[in-house]
Amino acid sequence: MAETAADIVNKDLDYICGNLKQEFGTMAGKRLLIVGGAGFLGYYLVQSILHYNKTAVKPIRLTVYDNYIRGVPAWLSSLNGTANLELIKFDISMPLPADIPDFQFIVHAGSIASPIYYKKYPIETMDANVGGLRSLLEYAKARKDKPGKVEGFLFYSSSEIYGDPTPDMIPTPETYRGNVSCTGPRACYDESKRYGETLCVNFVQQHGIPIKVARPFNNYGPGLKITDTRVLPDFARDVLNGRDIVMKSDGSPKRTFCYVADAVTGYYKVLVRGVPGEAYNVGVETPEISMLELAEKVAALGRELVGYKGKVVKKMDAEYLIDNPERRCPIIKKAREQLDFNPSILVDEGLRRSLIWYTGNREGSEA
C-alpha cells in the first residue's frame, strides 16, 4: 500500500525520538515551555515530545504558548486534552502570566518566519524577538538560584542574521559577522534576531543562565502549511492544483534544504547539550540547489506521485527579491562535533516525504 501522510509523520517522529534518547532522557519528568509551538517547527517540536511521552516512564510536561497570529492549526487543536500537554493562547510580547509555573526548559520559537508575513507584521515580529525574548530571559534570571530553575533555554535566531554573505563566506561558519541591511524590508526580522542573540550572550555573561542559540538554515517538510508562502509549499500547491510551478526569481538563488525531522533533532540537541552563550548553525551542507532545480525536482515527484502534467515558469517578484540572498549554505561542523548532530535524510527523500504529506494536507488557512 502507498505511504500516507500519517505514515510519514510516524516515521519522522520515531526517527527524532530515536536520535534524542539522551536529550529527552535529560528532560524527562521536567517542564518544557515552547513559545510559538503552533508554527511549522512547532509541528514536530510538539509532536515529538508527545511521541516520547507515549512510552516514557517519566513524561515531559509540555506547555505551548502561541498568539495564533497565523491561525489555530487543526493538528494542534486535535491534540487538546492530551496528557501532559497544555495549550495556552498567549502573546509573548505581553507581560508573562502571573501564575506561570517553573519551567526547566524553554524554547522561544515565537516569531513569524515567512518573509511575506513578517513584512506584513514587522513591528510584531520585532516585539516577539526582542521584548518577548527579554521577558523570558528575565523569568529565567528570577529563578536562577531557586529549585526548579531553568536548565536549558533555546532562542531561535536565523541564518538570515548573515544577510547576503560575501562569496568567500559561503559556506558560512558561525564566526561570520554578516552583511545585513538595518533598514531594508527584511530588517525587522534579521535585525531583531541579531539583537536577540546579543541579548542572549549578555544574559549568559551577566547572569549565568544556560541560553543557547540556533540558526536554522532553510528547513522544510511536514508542518509547513501549504499556504505559508515559503518556496516548497508554494511549489507543492502549484503541483496539487495541477497548474504550472511559478518561480518568483530567475531560478538562480541557491539554498541547502534541511528536512524538518533532522532540524528538530538538532534543535533539541542545542537546547540540552549546547554550550551556553554559543550559536549553532542547524542545516545541511550539501547539496546546494537552485530554485530551478528545486522546482524541477518537485515537478518530477508530482509526475510520479500524483500524475502532474505542468511545467516550471518564471514570474519575477521584484519586491520579494529585495535583500534576498543569492546563496545560503552553512558549515555545521560545530553542531556535528559538539552535539553529535548528523542530519541524514537526503533532499530527494525529504522532498518525497513532503509531497506525500502535502497530498494529505492540501488545506491551510490563508492567515
Ligand X SMILES: NC(=O)c1ccc[n+]([C@@H]2O[C@H](COP(=O)([O-])OP(=O)(O)OC[C@H]3O[C@@H](n4cnc5c(N)ncnc54)[C@H](O)[C@@H]3O)[C@@H](O)[C@H]2O)c1
Residue ranges binding ligand X (CB under 6 A): 35-36, 38-42, 65-70, 91-93, 109-114, 128, 132, 156, 158-159, 216, 218-219
Residue with cell 510580547: 93
Give yes or no: 189 in active site: yes
Nearer to ligand X (CB atom), residue 110 or residue 266: 110
Determine which one of 189, 220, 259, 358 is catalytic.
189
Q: Please state, in angstroms and rounded to a whole number, the distance separating the CA atoms of residues 93 and 312.
A: 41
| Residue type (1 letter), 2 | A
Shortest Cβ 130–ligand X spacing (Å): 11
Contact of 20 with 32, CB cutoff 8 Å:
no
List C-alpha distances in Å: 175 to 82, 167, 223, 332: 42, 15, 31, 12
Tell which residue, 89, 329, 73, has the closest CA to residue 224: 73
Contact of 106 with 154, CB cutoff 8 Å:
yes
Residue with cell 541557491: 254
How far from chain centre, in Å, is Cα 250? Answer: 26
Shortest Cβ 152–ligand X spacing (Å): 17
Nearer to ligand X (CB atom), residue 61 or residue 70: 70
Q: What number of helices (H) and strands (E) belong to the chain?
A: 14, 14
Burial class (CB in 10 A: 0-12, 13-18, 19+), 298: buried
Beta bridge partners of 65: 35, 88
Q: Taking CB positions, which residue lies at the least distance from ligand X?
A: 39
Shortest Cβ 218–ligand X spacing (Å): 5
Nearer to ligand X (CB atom), residue 117 or residue 352: 117
Shortest Cβ 261–ligand X spacing (Å): 13
Nearer to ligand X (CB atom), residue 10 or residue 365: 365
Q: Please state, in angstroms and rounded to a whole number, the distance separating the CA atoms of residues 243 and 125.
A: 33
Contact of 131 with 93, CB cutoff 8 Å:
yes
Nearer to ligand X (CB atom), residue 48 or residue 308: 48
Q: Please state, in angstroms and rounded to a whole number, the distance separating the CA atoms of residues 357 and 158.
A: 25
Contact of 357 with 5, CB cutoff 8 Å:
yes
Q: Residue 125 is placed in which grid cell?
A: 515580529
Nearer to ligand X (CB atom), residue 59 or residue 109: 109
Nearer to ligand X (CB atom), residue 215 or residue 248: 215
Contact of 44 with 12, CB cutoff 8 Å:
yes
Strand duo 219-220 + 105-108: pairing: unpaired
Shortest Cβ 192–ligand X spacing (Å): 9
Shortest Cβ 210–ligand X spacing (Å): 19
Catalytic residues: 189
